[in-house]
Chain A
């Protein structure tokens, strides 16, 4: 299941990092940043080599012992990162399709969030509504 979600801006600055989790590796800000940072390197690498070929905002992955990291880059160079624990509670592996829908919905949420007239492009997303919606996405989707 998903434990952490991040939105990274054009210049690789974190716009939003949030997550749920009750184990020590994801429940604090610092370890989340670490996880997301790991994914960014993998993402950048893929972008550099295949930026023109990849159809829609390529899914790229990285793995650590306990976590799977999924990345998604939008046309506007916003990077969305989803961190899941390697196995879902039921024991089966998480399917790519599920991750893709989750990331797509996250992008929709992000597009809504920046339409807030009080949000300045490039600023961190502080919207409570966005936070709530992302958390429910994490809980329900994967």
Chain B
């Protein structure tokens, strides 16, 4: 579908922009916080729309299920393949064919580039949760190429 590819192209342009910015500032490493922030803002705004006609979430796990199913379908046209939790604020979302990584070769050749391609999504999840009043830290882990694990660490302020 043509409209799917547009999102991917935009996403790769965002990464190029961040790379360019870091290069101009004289940093050797790409500053991914820009990409992460763009994701955060998008996630925050999308959440307001997505949850409009939705019944109230029962608890945190219910919210995570929403992220795994409807939120993910809305953005990546598929669901998260596996959700695990320790029931103490740590959630692991596993996507076996993460959209931004499916175009890579499956070997270890490009593994070092993977972090650039998951930063936006980390921000997206964090932004969405932030709008639902859940403060979290989201990190991603890529071990074998098209699959990706997102670790959500809910920050509790008690």
Question: A111–B133 contact, CB under 8 A?
Answer: no
Write out the residue numbers on chain B whose beta carbons fall within 8 Å of the beta carbon of A74: 48, 51-52
A115 at the interface (CB under 8 A from B): yes
What 1/0 flags go to A94-114 for Cβ under 8 Å of B?
A: 000000000000011011001
Question: A114–B48 contact, CB under 8 A?
Answer: yes
Give the residues from 4 to 57 in chain B that come closer than 8 angstroms, CB to CB, to chain A.
41, 44-45, 47-49, 51-57
CA of A117 to CA of B37 in the docked complex: distance in angstroms? 13
CA of A10 to CA of B132 in the docked complex: distance in angstroms? 10
CA of A79 to CA of B123 in the docked complex: distance in angstroms? 25
Question: A76–B45 contact, CB under 8 A?
Answer: no
Q: List the count of A-B residue pairs having beta carbons below 8 Å apart.
A: 46
Question: B133–A52 contact, CB under 8 A?
Answer: no
Question: B45–A55 contact, CB under 8 A?
Answer: no
A121 at the interface (CB under 8 A from B): yes
B131 at the interface (CB under 8 A from A): yes
What is the size category of the interface that chain B forms with chain A? 10 to 19
Closest-CB distance, A104 to chain B (whole angstroms): 8
Write out the residue numbers on chain A whose beta carbons fall within 8 Å of the beta carbon of B51: 74-76
A77 at the interface (CB under 8 A from B): yes
* Given A110-B48, A121-B44: A76 touches B133 (CB 8 Å cut-off): yes
Secondary structure of the A contact surface, majority rule: loop
Question: A111–B48 contact, CB under 8 A?
Answer: yes
Question: B56–A111 contact, CB under 8 A?
Answer: no
Give the residues from 109 to 127 in chain A that come closer than 8 angstroms, CB to CB, to chain B.
110-111, 114-115, 117, 121
CA of A47 to CA of B146 in the docked complex: distance in angstroms? 43
CA of A54 to CA of B58 in the docked complex: distance in angstroms? 10
A28 at the interface (CB under 8 A from B): no
Write out the residue numbers on chain A whose beta carbons fall within 8 Å of the beta carbon of B49: 111, 115
Chain B minimum-CB-distance residue to A108:
B52
Chain A residues near B (Cβ < 8 Å): 10, 51-52, 54-57, 74-78, 107-108, 110-111, 114-115, 117, 121
Jot down 22 A-B pairs with beta carbons below 8 A, ordered by A: A10-B133, A52-B56, A52-B59, A54-B56, A56-B54, A56-B56, A57-B56, A74-B51, A74-B52, A75-B52, A75-B54, A76-B131, A76-B132, A77-B132, A77-B133, A108-B52, A110-B48, A111-B49, A111-B52, A114-B48, A115-B49, A117-B41
Chain B residues near A (Cβ < 8 Å): 41, 44-45, 47-49, 51-59, 131-133
Q: What 9 pairs between A and B have smallest CB-CB spacing?
A: A75-B51, A111-B48, A111-B49, A76-B131, A115-B45, A55-B55, A56-B55, A77-B133, A52-B58
